[in-house]
A and B are shown apart, each in its own frame.
Chain A
């Protein structure tokens, strides 16, 4: 069994401009920010980003790396509107596929199950259909005859997720209250990269935690990155909560200044910058 550990920069070296990239977490919660920061250090651009959006989307949009975004929302949770995303959207910086939260989930499920689409009772009657003219409907072949949106599979070239623990083989564990959709992102992707707070021995994973905390299974994982604080400034319960003060700093600082101060170096430089800012 292979050791899949690698650095964040090695993950990014396997990505290319033009790829469709899924990013796990939800809003400003357990986002793989160390991987996003590594991505921002690269020149990769022209991405199709698939995400329940938070600062991952805000940063990539502000840095001009997104060609197309697939999402149901972008938010910082405690700050409802993501300012850098807003600014990018309002200047028409990228193409948007705006779908409902449940449609998004069923799109990931379809991809994970190698189905072209799944029927979903969502979207009909709303302008989601108007702004996505490519969406098709499907009618139940049974007596009810109800019409549904046929949500197409959200197949990903690569997925980036962050969890609490992982082993070197790629088994990923979450210890917080919500798995979000990280397993689905990994299953929907050709290559999944899992960063974690701490890499532990396999036997360690279930010593103190229930087996159902083992969210991501190694057969769908390509790379494992140990990235302590790798979700910062988003939350990573129970290891740490959201760094609200720093998130506020991010939200209220013009993007070029924030990027210059906090994102110009590696993770060590980032942590030092965070310390200096707070």
Chain B
């Protein structure tokens, strides 16, 4: 097909496509720490660990490393976590209040940093994350407010600022509309897939910069029946994923 077209899928929710799209970020990662930030990425990391990426390490969101069933297997207080980052054996999926075509990410503030119109979290660990371990992003509400021409404060480092950074890599960006990467000659953001029910035009409209859009844009893969069962009955029975993506 030359253009992805809407598909009615009454069985799998958009949130569940997002879970699988996030989970795929950790495929082939090996024995590394998965650091998901957000409800959908957390479900995705647990799904990956229970299926195709069994060597992943997970945390309880605090200082404990746990098996997918919650059994404590290790200790990772913040100081050790920050050191683990610099060792590189980690793939983090962060949020972004703004992200641009090169993958520069902002979670610090909106407007002029000296006197912001909206103070947000602060840079947190985005600078150290992006220079030391693979960093992907999860954006639950794809819009021009988030996908901007230029971020107001570079927290997570994008490809145009990463010259000479030996461990910089942004494997993917997942939003509620689709999946994106930077596998282009200019290292700018490319549309990899759209979730069923989303059109390429819709993605283009909701993005504040020119995306690289291939002639053929596939749909994000459908979760298998086994994956759906895990998501719905084992990992996220309370349906927290719907709080981020209500569709």
Residues in A lying within 8 Å of B, measured CB to CB: 26, 53, 71-75, 80-81, 85-86, 89-92, 98-103, 105, 120-128, 130-131, 146-147, 177-181
Q: Could you tell me if B121 and A75 are in contact, using CB atoms closer than 8 angstroms?
A: yes
Q: Would you give 22 A-B contacts (Cβ < 8 Å), ordered by A?
A: A71-B122, A73-B121, A73-B122, A73-B123, A73-B124, A81-B121, A89-B109, A91-B115, A100-B124, A100-B126, A102-B127, A102-B128, A105-B79, A120-B128, A123-B128, A124-B165, A125-B165, A126-B127, A126-B161, A127-B153, A130-B154, A131-B113
Considering only residues 118-134 of chain B, those with a C-beta below 8 Å from chain A are 118-128, 130-132
Give chain B residues whose Cβ lies under 8 Å from the Cβ of A26. 78
CA distance A26 to B108 in the complex (A): 17
Let me know if B114 and A81 touch, CB within 8 A: no
CB pair A146–B123 under 8 Å, yes or no, is no
Among residues of B, the one whose C-beta sits closest to the C-beta of A183 is B79
Q: By the criterion CB–CB under 8 Å, are B127 and A123 in contact?
A: yes
- Which of chain B's residues has its CB closest to A121's CB? B131
Evaluate contact between A121 and B132: CB separation under 8 angstroms.
Answer: yes
Query: Would you give the shortest CB distance from B132 to chain A, in whole angstroms?
Result: 6
Q: At the interface, yes or no: B10 with Cβ under 8 Å from chain A?
A: no
- Point out the residue from B75, B120, B162 that lies within 8 Å of A125, measured CB to CB: B162
Residues A122 and B79 in contact in the complex (CB < 8 Å), given A74-B122, A100-B123: no
Cβ B86 vs Cβ A126 within 8 A: no
Q: DSSP class of B's interface residues: helix, strand, loop or mixed?
A: loop
A200 to chain B, nearest CB (A): 23
Which of B41-69 touch A at CB < 8 Å?
62-64
In B173-193, which residues have CB < 8 Å from any A CB?
A: none
**B115 / chain A contacts, CB cutoff of 8 Å:** 90-92
Q: How far is the CA of A126 from the CA of B127 in the complex (A)?
A: 6
> For A99, what are the chain B residues with a Cβ–Cβ distance below 8 Å?
123
Query: In which size bucket is the chain B interface?
Result: 35 or more
Q: Does B82 contact A (CB under 8 A)?
A: yes
Contact of B132 among A74, A122, A128, A181 (CB under 8 A): A122
Decide if A178 touches B122 in the complex (CB within 8 Å).
Answer: no
A125–B78 Cα distance when bound, in Å, is 24
Give min CB distance, B156 to chain A, whole Å.
8
Which residue of B is nearest A120, CB measured? B128
Once the chains bind, are B77 and A126 in contact (CB under 8 Å)? no
A91 to chain B, nearest CB (A): 8
Instruction: Give, as a whole number of angstroms, the nearest-CB distance from B52 to chain A.
Output: 30
In the complex, what distance in Å separates the CA atom of A26 from the CA atom of B63? 12
Among B119, B164, B167, B168, contact of A90 (Cβ-Cβ < 8 Å):
B119
Residues from chain B with a CB closer than 8 A to the CB of A75 are: 121-122
Q: Give Cα A120–Cα B46 distance, bound, in whole angstroms.
A: 31
Question: Does B85 lie at the interface of the complex (its beta carbon under 8 Å from any beta carbon of A)?
Answer: yes
Interface centre among B78, B109, B153, B168 (most CB of A within 10 A): B78
B224 to chain A, nearest CB (A): 34
Closest residue on chain A to residue B167 by CB atoms: A121
Query: What separation, in Å, do the CA atoms of A147 and B166 have in the docked complex?
Result: 11
| A177 pairs with B77, CB closer than 8 A | yes
Bound Cα distance A122, B126 (Å): 9
Alpha-carbon distance A80/B165, docked complex (angstroms): 30
